[in-house]
Copies of this chain bind each other. A is one copy, B any other.
């Protein structure tokens, strides 16, 4: 199991990537994984030299160039062929790595992954999934922003891709699928959700549990929530910011929280997105995990754990089978 990690993606690259990779190799879930740090070899080696006891299983693959936020996402593949992002993706495509992780510009990772790894047969618009903390277990929301103006058939594809992901990567036996909507009853919603509801009830191989309102998400009563990328993106970014705000508010009001107050630390952990690893791009002929540009080492570490699980479980094969008739 080898993972290609774009070492030049985060705002603090390659520091967060190197520390995250070292953390992952000390983690029992991923200590047998080989991590290929893709980036400027001098910079990456200099960063590695700042760590004591670098574990075995780290390899550096030189890529002299780097994708920036100024690069138009669609042009990265053509204009930055020697960037850490493109070189890493190509290692995965060529079978020299079993998964790819990047905290580079989200649009660029999406576009480059799409054109390099290609959509699976039967997948029209590969979605981005994102795990939301809930009062129950984590729940996968998709699409989180890759696809605006979806048709009902796209949301049905998301339901299959999300279910496969939650089975393979999160170990959910029979993932419950909810349709994000503004009412519980079947006839509620806009054109998209009314027709999607109808299609989902007639679809086989899905555990569709009906409409999910905004207020139901936090209860954690489903494993997969499907929606158009417009509302998904707004919801996701809102949740991240609210969680961050509340943590900040609490810390300002009650002062720093040390180990002595483990209860509060647990609350912060629920609110802390870094715990949950990156956002998978689903429905492609490979595993591509997108992290925030502001990812700390812990988030990179967790994304590597997710990438390893996705690679080992046969997610891509199982996703492809989901669309074979």
Residues of A within 8 A of B (CB): 135, 145, 148-149, 180-182, 189-191, 213-219, 229-231, 233-242, 245-246, 249-250, 253-254, 261, 263-264, 266-267, 270-271
Name the residue on B nearest A180 (C-beta).
B234
Query: Known contacts A263-B253, A266-B253; is A235 also within 8 Å of B235 by CB?
Result: yes
Interface pair A214/B233, CB less than 8 Å apart: yes
Question: A181 to B271, alpha carbons, bound, how many Å?
Answer: 24
Which of A253, A266, A267 has most chain B Cβ within 10 Å?
A253
Interface pair A234/B182, CB less than 8 Å apart: yes
Of the residues B213, B237, B266, B267, contact of A214 by C-beta under 8 Å: B237
Q: Report chain B residues within 8 Å CB of A216.
A: 241
Interface pair B182/A233, CB less than 8 Å apart: yes
Interface pair B270/A249, CB less than 8 Å apart: yes
Q: In the assembly, how many copies of this chain are there?
A: 2
Question: A153 to B282, alpha carbons, bound, how many Å?
Answer: 36
Interface pair B235/A238, CB less than 8 Å apart: yes
Of the residues B217, B231, B239, B267, contact of A230 by C-beta under 8 Å: B231
Interface pair A214/B190, CB less than 8 Å apart: no
Interface pair A191/B253, CB less than 8 Å apart: no
Pairs A–B under 8 Å by Cβ, sample size 8: A145-B182, A181-B234, A214-B235, A214-B240, A215-B240, A217-B238, A235-B238, A246-B267
Question: A237 to B184, alpha carbons, bound, how many Å?
Answer: 13
Name the residue on B nearest A253 (C-beta).
B263
Interface pair A239/B237, CB less than 8 Å apart: no
Question: A247 to B218, alpha carbons, bound, how many Å?
Answer: 13
Name the residue on B nearest A230 (C-beta).
B190
Interface pair B235/A190, CB less than 8 Å apart: no
Which of A135, A231, A264 has most chain B Cβ within 10 Å?
A231
Question: A318 to B270, alpha carbons, bound, how many Å?
Answer: 45
Q: How far is the CB of A138 from chain B (nearest CB, A)?
A: 14
Which of A182, A213, A270 has most chain B Cβ within 10 Å?
A182
Name the residue on B nearest A244 (C-beta).
B218
Interface pair B241/A217, CB less than 8 Å apart: yes
Q: How far is the CB of A194 from chain B (nearest CB, A)?
A: 10
Interface pair B148/A189, CB less than 8 Å apart: yes
Interface pair A215/B231, CB less than 8 Å apart: no
Question: A176 to B236, alpha carbons, bound, how many Å?
Answer: 24
Query: Known contacts A149-B191, A182-B229, A271-B246; is A241 also within 8 Å of B214 by CB?
Result: yes
Q: Report chain B residues within 8 Å CB of A235.
A: 214, 234-235, 238
A148-B190, A182-B233, A250-B264 are known contacts; what are 7 more A-B pairs with Cβ within 8 Å? A135-B249, A189-B230, A190-B230, A213-B237, A214-B234, A214-B241, A254-B264
Question: A18 to B238, alpha carbons, bound, how many Å?
Answer: 36
Q: How far is the CB of A118 from chain B (nearest CB, A)?
A: 25
Of the residues B239, B240, B263, contact of A238 by C-beta under 8 Å: B239
Q: Report chain B residues within 8 Å CB of A266.
A: 253
Question: A115 to B188, alpha carbons, bound, how many Å?
Answer: 22
